Amino acid sequence: MDLLCTYGVLAGLLAIIASASTAAPEPNARPNIVLIVADDLGWNDVSFHGSTQIPTPNLDQLAYDGVMLSNYYVSPICTPTRGALMTGRHPIHLGLQHLTIHPAAPYGLPLGETTIAEALKQLGYKTHMIGKWHLGFFEDAYTPTNRGFDSHIGYYSGKEDYYNHCNDEDGWLGYDFHKNGSPYKPTFGQYSTEIYTQEAEAIIRDHSKNTSQPLFLYLAHQSVHSANNDDPLQVPHRYLEKFKDIKHEGRRTYAAMVSVLDESVGNVTRALRDTGLLNNTVIIFTSDNGGPAHGFDVNYASNFPLRGVKNTLWEGGVRGAAFIHSPLLALSSRTSHGMFHVCDWFPTFISIAGGDAAGFKNLDGYSQWASILNGTESPREEILHNIDPIFNVSALRWREFKLVVRDTYGGNWSGWYPPEEVTGSPQPTESDRRVSVDRVSVDLS
């Protein structure tokens, strides 16, 4: 009988030890930060914004259980947004406000700028990056592992084939897939979204073995940007079967690409949960610019009912899909209507990490952590969308008003583009052209 009791005590102790390994961390432990960026995702391409064409259940669950950002703005195109995201500075202060960095361009994110990876390393974080960089690589000094990241796997340029990882911009065809600064070929023939998901899961599992330092994981997906012009929209065939009701081939393929992205987010979240890291993690999901709708950039996103497309200063070009999810949020399952700009992430991350953003000079962003955490007012009442001296366009929002000076494409791509038709579904009417957007009533005509 004594022996049985002894075994019972030992079993109980083992159970306690096992549960402790996945228990919630101490309340004061610095949170892990997982930043997921979707490339060229439209406002109307996620079901948490009401899309009836593209179900995104994994994104929806995180968004509905977190804080959705309804007045969140990014730059109208890739490079400027990523520069602001990395530095907390507006693209006009980085020299990155016009278009993107092409593969042969001899410039990049200025080396004098402190990146969020460098700043978080100073606060004791392990920093890992997966996916798209697009901030220059003409010299090694400009690449991710020389800008504060402990590791990087992915590509340096703006777009490429999802399988062979070659880029055909500017009349050249070159392989662009790197691991920690060197060309990496074992991924040739593998679909990029799946590569990046597996890499993220591996980093999370590895980090869970030693959590003495918090984790910053930057997952910058290629999805759902178009690939090269010879085969612009690519997805494993099995995902197309889910969207047989979409008769437009481009929109159907795009929808399938979003579905893979949603599945990726679900798998990354599951890895965080299974390793016990989720309880002390802040997940941020954001698009990098408005969607390329109606065939723009050989793609078929939808920003409806917002006006315009990627690389325009209309709402459809600069209003991003975004949310924050974390068990640490005191007030969640809500929508934040406060104004938020992409350069606010830098000081916000510093606040999450327990640092003081005042120690960084010349930031254009504001820490939004208090408003996210507790639902207080946003510190912003204006957002400069851009001043582009080459296109000679600019735009500014102040409170309920927005000023747009000239149009990027001279009136082209300035319309309203509903998603390509789903058989049997009603199409948007003229009355949809006027919408109430959060606290701002915006006349879109």
CB-based contacts of 399, cutoff 8 Å, min separation 6: 381, 382
Instruction: For residue 88, count other CB atoms closer than 10 A to its CB.
Output: 29
Express each pLDDT in 143-162 by its tens digit: 999 999 999 999 999 999 99
More confident residue, 28 or 94: 94
The pLDDT value given to residue 421: 78
Overall average pLDDT of the 256-277 stretch:
98
Express each pLDDT in 160-193 by its tens digit: 999 999 999 998 999 999 999 999 999 999 999 9
- Strand 151-155 and strand 393-398: pairing? unpaired
Query: What DSSP letter does each residue of 362-384 carry, written as one string?
Result: T------HHHHHH-PPPS-SEEE
The pLDDT value given to residue 11: 42
Overall average pLDDT of the 230-249 stretch:
96
Can you point out the beta strands (E) in 105-181? 126-132, 151-155, 166-167, 174-175, 178-179
Given a cut of 90, is residue 8 above it in pLDDT?
A: no
DSSP 48: G
The pLDDT value given to residue 442: 40
Overall average pLDDT of the 64-71 stretch:
98
More confident residue, 119 or 444: 119
From CA 383, how far away is CA 42, in angstroms rounded?
A: 20
Query: What DSSP letter does each residue of 307-339 carry, written as one string?
Result: ---TTSSSHHHHBPPEEEE-TT-SS-SEEE-S-
Helices vs strands, H then E, count in the chain: 10, 19
The pLDDT value given to residue 333: 97
Given a cut of 60, is residue 62 above it in pLDDT?
A: yes
Q: What is the mean pLDDT of the chain?
A: 90
The pLDDT value given to residue 127: 98
Express each pLDDT in 368-421 by its tens digit: 999 999 999 999 999 999 999 999 999 999 999 999 999 999 999 999 999 997
| pTM of the full structure | 0.90
Can you point out the beta strands (E) in 20-158? 32-38, 67-69, 72-73, 126-132, 151-155
Share of the chain above pLDDT 70, in %: 88
The pLDDT value given to residue 203: 98
The pLDDT value given to residue 28: 46
The residue count of the chain comes to 445
From CA 67, how far away is CA 399, in angstroms rounded?
A: 21
Strand order in the sheet with 393-398: 382-388, 393-398, 401-405
Overall average pLDDT of the 240-260 stretch:
97
Share of the chain above pLDDT 90, in %: 87
The pLDDT value given to residue 2: 46
The pLDDT value given to residue 15: 42
The pLDDT value given to residue 267: 98
More confident residue, 16 or 188: 188
The pLDDT value given to residue 29: 84
Given a cut of 80, is residue 232 above it in pLDDT?
A: yes
Structure tokens at 217: 């994981």
The pLDDT value given to residue 250: 97
- Residue 55 · residue 47 · CB < 8 Å: yes
Express each pLDDT in 415-442 by its tens digit: 999 999 754 444 444 444 433 333 333 4
Catalytic residues: 78, 134
The pLDDT value given to residue 422: 54
- Residue 155 · residue 132 · CB < 8 Å: yes
Given a cut of 90, is residue 445 above it in pLDDT?
A: no
